[in-house]
Amino acid sequence: MQFWLGASFVETDQFIELAKVSERCGIHTLTLSDHIFYADFDSPYPYSRTGAPRWNAETHWPDVWVTIGAMAAVTSTLRFAPNVYVAPARDLFTVAKQVSTAAVISGDRVTFGVGVGWCKEEFVQTGQDFHTRGRRLDEMVPALRRLWAGGTVEHHGAHFEYGPLSISPVPARPVPFFVGGDSEPALRRAARLGDGWMGNRVYSEEQLDVVLADLRRYLKEYGRAEDALEIIAPLAVMPDAGTYRRFAEKGVTGTMAAPWWLATPEEKAEHGDSLALKVATIERFAEEVVSRM
């Protein structure tokens, strides 16, 4: 079982220290989320009952790839992933260059977590078509893989047309694509194109069983039943090594957590909502859970 750190809503100046602590404590991958700006969105946020975002204008959303580059410079084994990067809100070559550079700088420690996004306003401001975002992501994945393979390549599709051309630098190894989201299109995209699937909410065992069954059915439908699809699932359980072993038997290869969300009253009283609290709870999580797996 891999342990991924979900570092959404973290203040920007805390990421460097969190990366160092995560590596020391046996965290496999540190994730951070992606938004371009804050506004009074007309687009409903799909993960709250009211449709309102769970953050405000002061919440930090540092650029994913700049932050990963900085964290890679102070670590050597920790992996990094956006959870998730709204790739179709950008043009193809901006995505290709950013991810490729981050992969090279980190020594191929980048997993590319992607999703279609929900915020139409971000697409409007970047000049990308919101309504074709799913179809463009479907075409973007193989186009990016060809670009990152190196050499002169070309692509002639419904949404992207390029070549012959090449980009440099390119990763020494393929960048894994993990698809985020639990809608039917997202699960189908993971089964058809992905190296892995990332959950975008906290799942009960019953909810996760439904997702796993859907993924297995779609993998079979696309002729990939024998492929090893990584499953990264945030779980609605108290951290416990035995519980995580049970989920591993179901096919879950990793879980995602932010240990400071489960801080004890004593820890909150001592540290408040600070970097010290995050460090203390990661260290406790490593001692009580990670070391026992």
pLDDT tens column, 164-215? 999 999 999 999 999 999 999 999 999 999 999 999 889 999 999 999 999 9
Between CA 60 and CA 138 the distance in angstroms is 29
Domains of the chain: 29-175 (3.20.20.30)
Which pTM does this prediction carry? 0.94
- Predicted local confidence at residue 241, as pLDDT: 83
- Predicted local confidence at residue 274, as pLDDT: 93
- How confident is residue 287, by pLDDT bands cut at 50, 70 and 90? very high
Write the pLDDT tens digit of every residue in 56-83.
Answer: 999 999 999 999 999 999 999 999 999 9
Q: Are 256 and 231 in contact (CB under 8 A)?
A: no
- Predicted local confidence at residue 239, as pLDDT: 82
As separate numbers, helices (DSSP H) first and strands (DSSP E) second, the chain gives 10, 10
- How confident is residue 49, by pLDDT bands cut at 50, 70 and 90? confident
Token pair, residue 151, equals 């050499």
Q: Are 215 and 190 in contact (CB under 8 A)?
A: yes
- How confident is residue 224, by pLDDT bands cut at 50, 70 and 90? very high
Strands 153-156 and 161-165: antiparallel
Q: Are 14 and 36 in contact (CB under 8 A)?
A: no
**Order of strands, sheet of 79-82, starting from the edge strand that comes earlier in the sequence:** 79-82, 29-32, 2-6, 254-257, 230-232, 196-198, 177-180, 112-114
User: What is the average per-residue pLDDT within 139-165?
Assistant: 96
Q: Are 217 and 225 in contact (CB under 8 A)?
A: no
At residue 155, does pLDDT exceed 90?
Answer: yes
**Cβ count near 235 (within 10 Å):** 20
Q: What 8-state DSSP symbol labels residue 174?
A: P
- Predicted local confidence at residue 249, as pLDDT: 93
User: What is the average per-residue pLDDT within 111-138?
Assistant: 97
DSSP for 209-276 reads: HHHHHHHHHHHHHTT-TTS--EEE--BSS---HHHHHHHHHTT--EEEE-GGGG--HHHHHHH-SSHH
- Predicted local confidence at residue 92, as pLDDT: 98
- Predicted local confidence at residue 78, as pLDDT: 98
- Predicted local confidence at residue 139, as pLDDT: 98
**Cβ count near 100 (within 10 Å):** 22
Extract the runs of DSSP E, i.e. beta strands, from the chain.
Answer: 2-6, 29-32, 79-82, 112-114, 153-156, 161-165, 177-180, 196-198, 230-232, 254-257
Q: Are 5 and 254 in contact (CB under 8 A)?
A: no
- Predicted local confidence at residue 293, as pLDDT: 80
Write the pLDDT tens digit of every residue in 242-258.
Answer: 888 999 999 999 999 99
Write the pLDDT tens digit of every residue in 33-48.
Answer: 999 999 999 999 888 8
Q: How many Cα neighbours within 13 Å face the side chain of 162?
A: 17
At residue 54, does pLDDT exceed 90?
Answer: no
Write the pLDDT tens digit of every residue in 156-167.
Answer: 999 999 989 999
Q: Are 263 and 228 in contact (CB under 8 A)?
A: no
